[in-house]
Amino acid sequence: MLGDAALKLVTESKACLNLDTVKPYNDELVRMLVLETKQLHTHMQSLLSLLETSTAVEVAGLQSQLLMLHLVVQTNKRALLIYHNVRTDLLTSALNNAHSLPTLLARSPAMKAGLAPHEIEYLKHYAGLIQTVKVDYMHSAPSLQLDIMDQHPDERPPTNLLVTIKVLKPLNDVWLSHAQSAPSSFQKDQTLTISHADVRPLINRGWVALVDSDP
């Protein structure tokens, strides 16, 4: 029946809001609703072509059909928008709370398995955009939580597993690796020994300097 697929999709969106998490992407239902909408558009076009050669009584009937089909099409489109908007908002909120995409996916393997490919691409682009903004404003807001994992990767393997570094600027709430359960903070002029692989992005940005070896 017309409208059933749209109602199911909206009901699933409401369930996601109530659970405050995304359920597995319902690709089958989304495709069904898109196909139904396209078929209704085609049918409406055929009805419009009949208006010119129809009698007054027939025109009244055709107009009623067109109005009903138009309302169904609008309902389908709104259901699709609601479904994807709810999922996008929930995914964006989850990413903001996790502070990095790798951390989010590592902490929520069930969520990762249920995401559509285009949703993962959206999260990657969104995370990259947020990261760029944070880096640009680090000088004026050093307390911004920053994820430096997988940024400016260097394919050369490190010659030393541990290196001693000197911190050149205050860094607060920095995520260095996927294994971290909480972000790290560093004070200016602080000297410490740390994993070379974890600290390499900081070296590349010039925020820390190696004390006893070359990068």
Per the prediction, the chain carries an average pLDDT of 81
Element (H, E) at 102: helix 101-107
Domains for the chain: give ranges and CATH numbers: 4-135 (1.20.58.1030), 146-210 (3.40.5.60)
192, 185 in Cβ contact below 8 A?
no
The pLDDT assigned to 160 comes to: 60
Please say if the pLDDT value at position 50 is more than 70.
yes
Task: Give tens-digit pLDDT for 179-201.
Answer: 666 777 888 888 888 887 777 77
pLDDT, greater one: 202 or 75:
75
DSSP H or E segment with residue 118: helix 117-136
Model pLDDT, residue 147? 57
CA separation, residue 64 to residues 49, 69, 74, 149, 189 (Å): 15, 9, 16, 59, 77
Q: Is the pLDDT of residue 19 over 50?
A: yes
User: Residue range 168-185: average pLDDT?
Assistant: 74
Confidence of residue 143 (pLDDT cuts 50, 70, 90): low
Percent of the chain with pLDDT over 90: 32
Q: Confirm whether pTM is higher than 0.75.
A: no
pLDDT, tens digit (0-9, with 9 covering 90-100), for 86-115:
999 999 999 888 877 888 888 888 888 899
Q: Is 138 a residue whose pLDDT tops 50?
A: yes
Q: Tell me the pLDDT band of 141, cut-offs 50, 70 and 90.
A: low
Judge whether residue 146 has pLDDT over 60: no
The reported pLDDT for the residue numbered 151 is 47
The SS3 assignment for 164 reads strand
For residues 170 and 143, the model is more confident at 170
Q: Give the highest mean pLDDT range of 70-79, 124-133, 158-167.
A: 70-79
Orientation angle between helical segments 56-98 and 4-19, nearest 10 degrees: 20
Cα angle 134-135-138, degrees, rounded to a multiple of 5: 80
Write down the pLDDT at residue 153.
42
